[in-house]
Amino acid sequence: MKIQSVRGTHDLLPESVALWQKIEAEARGVFQLYGYEEVRTPILERSELFARSIGAESDIVQKEMYTFSDSKGNTICLRPEGTAPVVRAYLEHGLDHDGLIHKLYYIGPMFRHERPQKGRYRQFHQVGVEVLGSDHPALEAEVIEMLERFLHKLGVKGLRLLLNSVGCAHCRPAYVKVLQKELNKRQDELCPECQRRSKTNPLRVLDCKVPACQPVIDELPSILDYLCDNCRQHFEKLRSYLDLQEISYEVTPRLVRGLDYYVGTTFEMVSSDLGPTQNAVVGGGRYDGLSELLGGPPGKGFGFALGIERLVVLLEESLDLRRPRPDIFLAYLDEGALKESFGLAQELRHQGVFAYIDFQGRSLKAQMRLANRLESRFTCIIGEDEIQSGQFPLKRMEDGHQVTLDREAIASYVKEDGAATS
């Protein structure tokens, strides 16, 4: 019996990797225009990091984290999200002491033990952005504008921006009290999970995707009616900056993020192409107070995380990504010609030319068929005559045009032709 991959994980084969590389390259290119720098945190973290930040009663900590004990009895986990590790690193290395706004981004795998479905895996990958050191609503608008620019460059269409404010430590408790009172009246109409959440974390009920719960959720009080003056003014200023940038959005009072550290602004971008429930492509918001939860001084933070697998679902059918074409296919007639091809390929690669040799010992006819299959731009057949004369025939596969060149002239000819036709 063959060993297969672990359920909820997936292999990225060469034909898929090209799209992932494009996503990562576009992210780096766009984010750098806005002053963001990459940060890389460990996959392994202390479980306490997420119990403090996400919430010990959250579904992620209670049900989804991959947790184990190391040889010294420390409780370790595979990171389920990226924000808490970035803030932990920010504090651990004293970046909070320099008085600067730190603009950081990350790209990497996360892990959650949940039911695999379209665009959702147990090992999944995120592109994330974190801005630490400011709570200005204009900065939030800039982050959202940067995100839209990134998605536009990739060609993603049909996304809707959903926007909300979940209040702060001053105004949210009053809303939660009212919300819990209303939920207690309608326990029999809620799914078992929401019945539990209504006791431990009522805000999470608003995030439920069970169809039977939606009529109840739609009739619950709106958090926007309970915002304090500071939260209300902040939300209004954010909306004014988005209007200034001509960014369309929908105010969605039921929108809460699945992580307990969010305060104030929360947002999602959703796509109908991912289905009616698990349709979020990217989500984020403000997390002032997370620094204190992790043992640091008061701090300000805002960011988002984008699921690469979900983005791939939206892009893989619309983008024509092919494997790289060889610049030149070196076909050989015998063992001596293979050695000559081997040396020539090395010289060409040193000069930036993608040279391909078939090592299967095929006939010349079969080698040429392979060159066609690989869509090589040029072919060069090498035999005893070419070795003795130092003259090599190059055939352009697109139109059959052929030239004979000295060995030293091959690289420049291939590169010039490629530049002229690109």
pLDDT digits over 216-235, tens only? 888 899 999 999 999 999 99
Q: In this structure, which amino acid lies at residue 356?
A: Y
**Alpha helix (H) ranges present in 34-82?**
47-50, 59
pLDDT above 80 (res 260): no
CB 120 within 8 A of CB 308: no
pLDDT 10s digits, 318-344: 666 678 899 999 999 999 999 999 999
Q: Given pLDDT bands bounded at 50, 70 and 90, which one contains residue 104?
A: very high
pLDDT above 70 (res 258): no
d(CA 365, CA 373): 13
Which residue from 165, 60, 68 is spatially nearest to 110, judged by alpha carbons? 60
Q: In this structure, which amino acid lies at residue 276?
A: P
Q: Which residue has the higher pLDDT, 117 or 366?
A: 366
- pLDDT (0 to 100) of residue 193: 85
Averaged pLDDT for residues 125-146 = 97
Q: Given pLDDT bands bounded at 50, 70 and 90, which one contains residue 83?
A: very high
Q: Which residue has the higher pLDDT, 188 or 80?
A: 80
- pLDDT (0 to 100) of residue 143: 98
- pLDDT (0 to 100) of residue 319: 65
- pLDDT (0 to 100) of residue 207: 82
Averaged pLDDT for residues 23-45 = 97
- What share of the chain in percent tops pLDDT 70? 95
Tokens of 202: 């009522």
- pLDDT (0 to 100) of residue 318: 64
- pLDDT (0 to 100) of residue 90: 97
Q: In this structure, which amino acid lies at residue 124?
A: F
- pLDDT (0 to 100) of residue 205: 87
Strand, helix or coil at 35? coil
DSSP 105-139: EEEEEEE--S--BTTB-SEEEEEEEEEES---HHH
**Domains, the chain, ranges and CATH?**
14-154+255-315 (3.30.930.10), 328-421 (3.40.50.800)
- pLDDT (0 to 100) of residue 271: 86
Q: What is the mean pLDDT of the chain?
A: 91
Q: In this structure, which amino acid lies at residue 51?
A: A
d(CA 104, CA 106): 7
The single-letter DSSP state of residue 282 is E
Averaged pLDDT for residues 40-52 = 95
- Sign of the Cα torsion 223, 225, 227, 230 reads positive
Cβ neighbour number for residue 73 with a 10 Å cutoff: 6
CB 338 within 8 A of CB 325: no
pLDDT above 80 (res 276): no
- pLDDT (0 to 100) of residue 418: 66
- pLDDT (0 to 100) of residue 188: 85
d(CA 290, CA 292): 5
Averaged pLDDT for residues 198-227 = 87
Q: pTM of the full predicted structure?
A: 0.87
- The contacts found for 209-215 with CB under 8 angstroms, 24 or more apart, are 209/277, 209/278, 213/189, 215/189
pLDDT 10s digits, 385-419: 999 999 999 999 999 999 999 999 999 999 998 66
Q: Which residues pair with 109 in a beta bridge?
A: 125
